[in-house]
Amino acid sequence: MPIGGPVVVPTSASSALAVAREIAGRIAIDAADRDRGRRLPYAEIDDLSASGLLAITVPQRFGGPDLAPSVVADVTRILAAADPNVAQIPHSHFVYLNLLRLAAPDVLARRIFDQVLRGGRVANAQSERGGATVADISTTLRPNGDRFVLDGEKFYATGSLFAHTLAVLARLVDDTADFGAGEYIVFVAADAAGIDVVDDWNGLGQRTTGSGTVVFRDVEVDPVTLVARAPAVTRPTGYGAFAQLLHVAIDVGIARGALETAADFVRSTSRPWFEAGVERADADPLTVQRFGELGVEVATAEATLEVASRAVDAATAIGADDPELTAQASIAVAVAKTVADRASNSVSSALFEVAGTRSASADLVLDRFWRNARTHTLHDPVRWKYQHIGRWVLRGESPPIHGVI
Other beta carbons within 10 Å of 314: 19
- The pLDDT, as a whole number, for residue 378 is 95
User: What does pTM read for this prediction?
Assistant: 0.97
pLDDT tier, 18 (very low <50, low <70, confident <90, very high otherwise): very high
Q: Which of 150-159, 281-290, 316-325 has the lowest mean pLDDT?
A: 316-325
Mean of all residue pLDDT scores within the chain: 96
Strand-strand pairing, 122-125 and 182-189: unpaired
pLDDT tier, 1 (very low <50, low <70, confident <90, very high otherwise): low
Cβ contact 82:28 at 8 Å = yes
- From residue 231, alpha-carbon distances to 38, 46, 140, 236 in Å are 39, 32, 19, 9
Which tens digit of pLDDT belongs to each residue from 122-137? 999 999 998 888 888 9
- Domains along the sequence of the chain with CATH: 13-121 (1.10.540.10), 140-229 (2.40.110.10), 235-395 (1.20.140.10)
- Average pLDDT for residues 228-239, to the nearest whole number? 88
- In the chain, % of residues over pLDDT 90: 92
Which tens digit of pLDDT belongs to each residue from 346-401? 999 999 999 999 999 999 999 999 999 999 999 889 999 999 999 999 999 999 98
Asked if residue 246 has pLDDT above 80, the reply is: yes
3-state secondary structure of 209: coil
- Average pLDDT for residues 162-187, to the nearest whole number? 95
Which tens digit of pLDDT belongs to each residue from 194-203? 999 999 999 9
Asked if residue 319 has pLDDT above 80, the reply is: no
- The pLDDT, as a whole number, for residue 279 is 96
- Average pLDDT for residues 222-226, to the nearest whole number? 97
Cβ burial, residue 106 (10 Å; 0-12/13-18/19+): exposed
Asked if residue 403 has pLDDT above 80, the reply is: no
Long-range contacts of residues 10-15, Cβ cutoff 8 Å, at least 24 apart:
10/51, 10/52, 10/53, 10/56, 10/65, 10/67, 11/65, 11/67, 12/65, 12/67, 13/67, 13/68, 13/70, 13/71, 13/74
